[in-house]
A and B are shown apart, each in its own frame.
Chain A
Amino acid sequence: MKNILILGATSDMAQAIAKKYAAEGWNLTLAARNMELLHPIASDLRVRSKIEIISLEFDALEFSNHRTFYDSLANPPDVVICVFGYMGDQMLARTDFNEVQKTIGVNYTGAVSILNIVAEDFEKRGKGSIAGISSVAGDRGRQSNYIYGSAKAGFSAYLSGLRNRLAQSGVHVMSVKPGFCYTKMTESLELPSALTADPEQVANAVFKGLEKKQNVVYTLWMWRWIMLIIRHIPESIFKKMGM
């Protein structure tokens, strides 16, 4: 029986990922900072399937607890998926440095802190897969969300470096770059339906990508091309666009 550890398990994407893996018969370790939210999620999964489910408390910002958290896992994971993230308030972040620190802390530092520990373990065991949910927002900084975007850019660069390092030891690292996705992070926004994925689509892409050992996964597919174009707009023109 295979084990998966999902970090940020209360997020809508994580819930869809958990359902997918549960349906595939994996044992789940769900980690999230808010246990009140996590319990009904776990009980839901228990009704759905007969697999083993463990719920644990995990805060991405409590860096110093990360090692104890990981070392005390009952089921050493075969796959770790880092889903947590924080969109932050871009307007607030312009003037309030605490908001900046929180955004970077969750999306970059917290993710690096825990994944370093995972990488060390996987490298030693010579196997395992790590997936990080980054974002297309990290592909180019835009005025509407560049604090979040730059933290995700850092996370994307981290994942690609980690992939490079661990390739030799048989450990697979996958970067996931969702475009728009219908989740609580975006539910008050009006998103273009043709460009917006359901969490289930992201979950399927993550599952398939990990099975096939893909390196970088965009959901939906057109986002790869959209971001390719956006990345290639000359800076002199880009800076004048209100994006």
Chain B
Amino acid sequence: MRKISDWGNYPIIEAEVSGFDTTDQLREKISNSGSMIAFGNGRSYGDASLQSTILLTRRFNKFLSFDDTSGTLTCQSGVMLSEILDVFVPRGWFLPVTPGTKLITLGGAIAADVHGKNHHVSGSFGQHILSMDVMRTDGSIITCSPEENTDFFKITVGGMGLTGIILKATFRLKKIETAYIREETLRAANLSEIMDSFETSGDWSYSVAWIDCLAKGDALGRSIMMRGEHASASELVNASHKHEPLNLKPGLQLSVPFAFPNFALNKLTMKAFNWAYYNKCRPGTHRSIVDYNAFFYPLDAIAHWNRIYGKRGFTQYQFVIPKAAGREGMQKILKRITESGLGSFLAVLKLFGEQEGFMSFPMAGYTLALDFPISLKAMDLFKELDAMVADYGGRLYLAKDSRMDAEMFNKTYPNVADFRQAITLLNEGNTKFESLQSKRIGITG
């Protein structure tokens, strides 16, 4: 038994934890335990990869094949996106979709069907999977793809590890000329301005905004938009970049050595952070060339940054609401959050494009994500926010969730009933794949 948690350090539980090297070992483990859940790199925030028996996939992390001409990569599910970048960026390839951290596994990327700053043009990660192998509760291995065993494929992408253990997957990387991003930043005085910016930034491959969620009144939604494109070789200006356009020097790695005391993250420090961030970006549009780590993964430069939230832990509240409800809905919800004063300095806004998918989180509309230190007040606030999100026809992201109730989940994910039935059927008479989350929101019994 050992203590283990996901990224928010809430909840922290005691669990039996082990990994596997071969499919035979995995099969044996599955048949020897009544119930289990896969754990990738624990970068979901809540309890999606937690329960009393945990299967670590990180060691099942081999690259199996790569085709240099098409960029088609096959690897085992425990491979981290960071490893893929380390190996393939220098050869001129990039991930088709990447979340705001590269420290997640391929399995986690598929199971949560993660999205990135290019969702409006490239969709979610699962849409790029050409094929994958999954071990089911009975120990059998099923190959599924958009063409083969399509129903199983549909419920596994975004299925949060409940359909089986993803063993390996094949997907296509995209060609890049440089490891750099041509970035534009612009600031917006309020929510309506930033939403305008999103509407007019549709041609950009990548776009995201950081919202100062403590700004109030007319300044509500005051924010900075960052949009970018992979820089071509000719767009590089710096001589050292031009010299080795695909190779980055190792960056500075900082680390938060221990859990901060709870008082360290009070309202004042958050306010100061927000102000500094906002004022760094003067009015107008600013262009620069930044490396891909700075653009996509600013937080990864600080190892264990989750420790700044102290021992009590934190959660991220991420919701999406349909575009039609966007302006009014986002205004109301953000207002409620800023009034509460409980929000974090990290509030991210993004406009999603259309999304297909059975259990996937994204939908055409606006998504907002912010961190909250765990507290009773925050929990009460979430209940209020849930009601607003549901009313606007939106939903919450399972990968970030540690507290949503079954009612909210059932109301907001359209395919819940079919999904639950499929999982029940798969689990019947066999080992169950279930997590604390799947029990809490009523997918598994």
Contacts and interface: CB of A to CB of B under 8 A. Distances in A.
A190 B16 CA distance: 11
Given A43-B62, A43-B65, A37 B56 contact: no
Nearest to B65: A47
By size class, the interface of chain A is 10 to 19
Contact of B22 (A12, A36, A44, A190): A36
Nearest to B16: A188
Nearest to A44: B62
Interface residues of B, number: 21
A189 B19 CA distance: 12
A36 B258 CA distance: 40
B418 interface: no
B40 to A, nearest CB: 14
B76 to A, nearest CB: 7
Given A43-B64, A47-B63, A188 B87 contact: no
> Taking chain B's interface residues, is the majority helix, strand, or loop, or is none over half, making it mixed?
strand
Contacts of B87: 47-48
B66 interface: yes
B56 A187 contact: yes
Given A47-B66, A48-B63, A37 B21 contact: yes
B64 A40 contact: yes
A188 B17 contact: yes
Interface string B49-77: 00000001001011111100000000110
Contacts of A194: 257-258
Contact of A188 (B2, B59, B76): B2
Nearest to B24: A36
Nearest to B79: A44
A18 to B, nearest CB: 12
Contacts of A10: 21
B377 interface: no
Interface in A1-50: 10, 12, 36-37, 40-41, 43-44, 47-48
Which of A36, A184, A194 has the most chain B CB atoms inside 10 A of its CB? A184
A44 B64 CA distance: 6
Contacts of B3: 190
A189 B76 CA distance: 24
Contacts of A47: 63-66, 75, 87
Interface string B351-368: 000000000000000000
A92 B81 CA distance: 41
A224 B3 CA distance: 27
Nearest to B63: A47
B18 interface: yes
Contacts of B64: 40, 43-44, 47
A134 to B, nearest CB: 23
A135 to B, nearest CB: 20
A41 B61 CA distance: 9
Interface string A171-199: 00000000000001001111000100000
A40 B258 CA distance: 37
A192 to B, nearest CB: 11
A184 B63 contact: no
A106 to B, nearest CB: 18
Which of A44, A48, A184 has the most chain B CB atoms inside 10 A of its CB? A44
B2 A40 contact: no
Given A36-B22, A37-B22, A190 B65 contact: no
Nearest to A193: B304
A40 B19 contact: no
Contacts of B258: 194
Contacts of B17: 187-188
A10 B16 CA distance: 24
Nearest to A47: B63
Given A40-B76, A190-B3, A184 B19 contact: yes
Given A43-B65, A187-B18, A190-B3, 12 more contacts: A12-B59, A40-B64, A43-B62, A43-B64, A47-B63, A47-B65, A47-B66, A47-B75, A48-B63, A189-B2, A190-B2, A194-B257
24 contacts: A40-B62, A40-B64, A40-B76, A41-B62, A43-B65, A44-B61, A44-B63, A47-B63, A47-B64, A47-B65, A47-B66, A47-B75, A48-B63, A48-B87, A184-B21, A184-B59, A187-B18, A187-B59, A188-B17, A189-B2, A190-B2, A190-B3, A194-B257, A194-B258
Top 8 closest pairs, chain A to chain B, by CB: A190-B2, A47-B63, A44-B62, A40-B62, A44-B63, A47-B66, A48-B87, A37-B21
